[in-house]
Amino acid sequence: MTLPLKIGVAGLGTVGAGVVKLLTANHDQLTARCGRPLIVTAVSARDRSKDRGINVDGMAWHDYARDLAADDNVDVVVELIGGEDGIAKDLVETAIHHSKHVVTANKALIAHHGTALARAAESKGLSLAYEAAVAGGIPIIKALREGLAANRVERLYGILNGTCNYILTDMAGSGREFDDILAEAQELGYAEADPSFDVDGIDAAHKLAILASVAFGTELDFDNVYVEGIRHVSPLDIEFAHELGYGIKLLGVAARVPEERGGGIEQRVHPCMVALDAPINHVSGVFNGIEVAGDFVDTTIYEGRGAGEGPTASAVVADLVDIARGNNVPTFAVKAEKLKPAQTIPMGKRKGAYYIRFMVVDRPGVFADIAAALRDNEVSMESVLQRGRAPGEQVPVVMTVHETEEDAMQRCVQAIAALDAVVEPPRLIRIEDI
C-alpha cells in the first residue's frame, strides 16, 4: 500500500477534535478516495487531561506546537490554534521551514500574512491550504480557484459571518433589539463572550480579503478593506427597509472597478439593503451565502453552514485529501510570486444608492433645510417616508437617494446632522443592486 499521509494537528478545540473524529469515522472512504491512508500521528494542545471525546492513544503529544512542526513523523501540519500572530504564525512558519505542508482554518493569519506565507510555501513546493478559513463547509476557495478558473471574476459578495446573520434574521422576524438578540446568541454559543470581531465586521473582512485575492489574483490587502459592523442597525431600520422592498444583510463585497472610475478593486464590508426577492436575502440564521459573477459562467450561488465542528472539519479534511492526492495548486489561484498589488480603491469612491434615516423635531422648514443639504452636495432624492405627524415632537424621517458617490453622500449626512432639528446622528445604510 502507498505510504500514509501523516498528519499533525495543533489545537484540539472544537474544530481540532472534529478533524480527528472525521478522519477516524470516514477512514475507509478517505483511504479509497486518496489511494492512501490519512493518519493523525501527532497532536498539540495545552491540557493533556481534558476530555475531548477523541482517542489520542498512539499519537505523539507535543506540549509546544513548534515541536509538532519539527516532528519527523509528520508530513502535514494542521493549524487550528487561531490568531493572526503569536503561536499560530510561528507554527506555520516553522512547518514550512521543515518542508511540511500546512492546512489552516485561521482566516486572520491568512488575511494578514497570506501573501508572505504563500511565497515561502510555494518556493519549497509545499501546499498552504485554507479552505476552512472562509465560509466553513462551503467549498468556496476550491470553487473560485479551480471550478471557476476559466472565468474572469467581476464581482463577488456574500454573507460571511453567521453571528451577524443570525442577529439580523432574528431582528427582522421578532422586532427585538440588537443587544437582546446578541445576549441570546452568546448563550446559544453563536457569539463569543467578546463579540467584537463578529458584530464589528472584522471576521467578515478577513474572509473577504482572502476571497478577493483568489478571485482577482492580487496580494492580500486587508488593511484597506472598508469595515463597518451592525451595531447601529435597529428594528426600525429593518421595518422601514421592508416597507421599501428591502432586507438588511451584512455583506462583504469585492468587485472590479471600471477604468472610467479609476480601475482597481473594491473591498468593503458593511450592512446593505438588498431586494427582498434577491437570493442572498433568503440566506437566514447562522448560514453563510456567497454569489460570484464570472464573465462566462454568469452568477453562481453557494450556501451552507459557515462555522461549527462538522462543517469546518469537513473543509480541513478536504484540503488534506488534496495533499494526499498530490494536488498542489497555487495558493491564491496564481503563483504567489505573480500576485499583483490589489490597488484597493477608497470607500469614498463607491457609487450606489443610499438609505438614510433621521430623527427630527417636526416643525416647519425641516424638509427645506434637508433638501438644501441634498442640493448643495449634488445628491438626488428618490423617495421619502415619514411616520406620523406630531408638531414639536420627534419623528423618524426616511429617504432613499439615487446613485451617488460615497464622499458626496457623507458630506450630505454631515450637513443634515448639523441641523438644529435633527436630534440624533443620521443612520446611513447602502443599497446594493444585486
User: Which are the catalytic amino acids?
Assistant: 207
Q: Do 427 and 232 touch, CB atoms closer than 8 A?
A: yes
Which of 16, 140, 134 shows the shortest CA–CA distance to 78?
16
Q: Do 162 and 239 touch, CB atoms closer than 8 A?
A: no
Which of 247, 237, 231, 168 shows the shortest CA–CA distance to 397?
237
Q: Do 244 and 385 touch, CB atoms closer than 8 A?
A: yes
C-alpha cell at 284: 437566514
Q: Do 323 and 125 touch, CB atoms closer than 8 A?
A: no
DSSP 3-state assignment of 297? Answer: coil
Pairing of strands 101-104, 76-79: parallel
C-alpha cell at 298: 454568469
DSSP 3-state assignment of 270? Answer: strand
Q: How many CB atoms lie within 10 A of CB 36?
A: 17
Phi-psi region of 285 (alpha: psi -120 to 50; beta: other; left: phi over 0): left
DSSP 3-state assignment of 412? Answer: helix
